Amino acid sequence: MRRVLLCFAALLWLPAVVLAAEPRAVSAQVADTIEREYFDPARAASIAAGLRSAAARGEFDAITHPQELASALTSALKPHDGHFNVRWQEGEGAAPRPRPPFDAARGNFGIRQVQVLPGNVGYLDLRLFADIEPDQADAPARRAIDAALQLLAHVDALVIDLRDNGGGSPAMVGYLASAFVAPGRDIYNTFHSRGGTDSEAPVQAYASPRPALPLYVLVSGRTGSAAEAFAYTLQQAGRATVVGEVTAGAANPGRPYLVGEGFSVFVANGSPVNPITGDNWEGRGVQPDVSIESAGALDAATRLALQALVAQGAGDDARWALEALDATAVAVPPERLAAYAGDYGAVRVEAVDTGLQLRQGRRPPLQLRPLDDALFFVEGDPARRVRFDREGGQMRAVELLWANGQLARHPRSDGPADTGANPSPMRR
């Protein structure tokens, strides 16, 4: 035990990580890199001069921990460009140490979820714009996004969720955007750098675009870089409604540069220009068309999609799904639940703590949510409804309805309970 305690005590005396170089020297190396690599030479000189002046005033002199210095330098640079980021890693010298390659496949190339919501509204949760080679149709990332789009090929509207997407590859941005615009439209960003220009337009566009599909893009303050490019491009082209919070405001792409003593700095070496606005979202973020807290963005976009489909004359499944969304505040008074419960031939209605549920044989019970005093929908599947037929203050039968027009009626078989001539109203 004494030996263990001595070893533990020794650990307490291990020296803390300290800077191997003066803060002013590190600041100078970062400033030199920015002046050499930043895409705008005039701004590069100005930003670098500002950082050198801050260092000369002693703003970083008291910092002794390298990671704290990296954070302080990042904070000083961020107001000039959202992509600036200074990092420190112990042992990193003039050349980067070998690191395992980033395995996008283990994250399913950023594709977290593909789903068809009630009312035939598609949902794609995308956490990364994985890099693709535009002319390699068999590349894994390309096949993955093609498969996701194929699963959503028959939806009537689509929600793309970028609330947790920090960016990625411009090549994927252009390719995915081409799935929602007519071929040949000039909507793609052009990147300007010291070496010239490069377009985000796909070399090979998506083969079966849907230029009229109602499209909604969810964003948050976490949405950055390439994810912002996707939202901004389709918003300015009039092809998507952006829902959520103002995005990060990091438009300019780049890469990290080693500056010595374990430090590196991410410097933007290009800047996008949108052909429609002649501008980008740097420092301002993409402004949502519908501003709402990030947590409520999916419900808001789904409601907008269903409203658009109903206005276009979609079937009852879209209308019923919309009515279910709008009925979430309806409640059955607890004292009224027993009036609905009972046996109705092949089905049984039960009053439980969460409301009403319907059982049919050995099938899992269906939770019922009220639309009004007699009409309910199945939780999670609003294309299915349950209607109670009441006559003379008594429940006579229950009807099962489907949005495609099917109906099944089951008369009450256990002796109807008297519900009273003036049933209590539904509560909202």
Closest CA to 301 of 291, 315, 314: 291
Domain count, the chain: 3
> How far is the C-alpha of 175 from the C-alpha of 188, rounded, in Å?
10
**Cβ of 263: how many Cβ atoms within 10 Å?**
25
Residue 310 structure tokens: 């109903």
Q: State residue 415's pLDDT score.
A: 66
Domain-embedded: residue 117: yes
Q: Percent of the chain, pLDDT > 90?
A: 79
Q: State residue 17's pLDDT score.
A: 60
pLDDT in tens, 256-302: 999 998 999 999 999 999 999 999 999 999 999 999 999 999 999 99
146 and 247, same structural domain?
A: yes
Question: How far from the centroid of its chain's Cα atoms is residue 158's Cα?
Answer: 13
> How far is the C-alpha of 216 from the C-alpha of 258, rounded, in Å?
40
Work out whether strand 375-378 and strand 381-391 pair parallel, antiparallel, or are unpaired. antiparallel
Q: State residue 35's pLDDT score.
A: 96
Residue 100 has what DSSP assignment? P
Number of alpha helices (DSSP H) and beta strands (DSSP E) in the chain? 10, 20
237 and 173, same structural domain?
A: yes
Q: Is the dihedral of CA 107, 110, 116, 117 positive or negative?
A: positive
Q: Are 287 and 200 in contact (CB under 8 A)?
A: no
Q: State residue 268's pLDDT score.
A: 93
Work out whether strand 290-291 and strand 241-244 pair parallel, antiparallel, or are unpaired. parallel
Residue 138 has what DSSP assignment? T
304 and 189, same structural domain?
A: yes
Strands (E), 149-206: 157-161, 190-193, 196-199
Residue 164's domain comprises 106-310
Residues lower than pLDDT 70 in the chain: 1-20, 91-102, 329, 415-428
pLDDT in tens, 190-217: 999 998 999 999 999 999 999 999 999 9
> How far is the C-alpha of 224 from the C-alpha of 250, rounded, in Å?
6
Q: State residue 86's pLDDT score.
A: 96
283 and 222, same structural domain?
A: yes
**Cβ of 395: how many Cβ atoms within 10 Å?**
22
Domain-embedded: residue 8: no
Q: State residue 423's pLDDT score.
A: 45
Q: State residue 283's pLDDT score.
A: 92
Domain-embedded: residue 322: no
Q: Are 241 and 217 in contact (CB under 8 A)?
A: yes
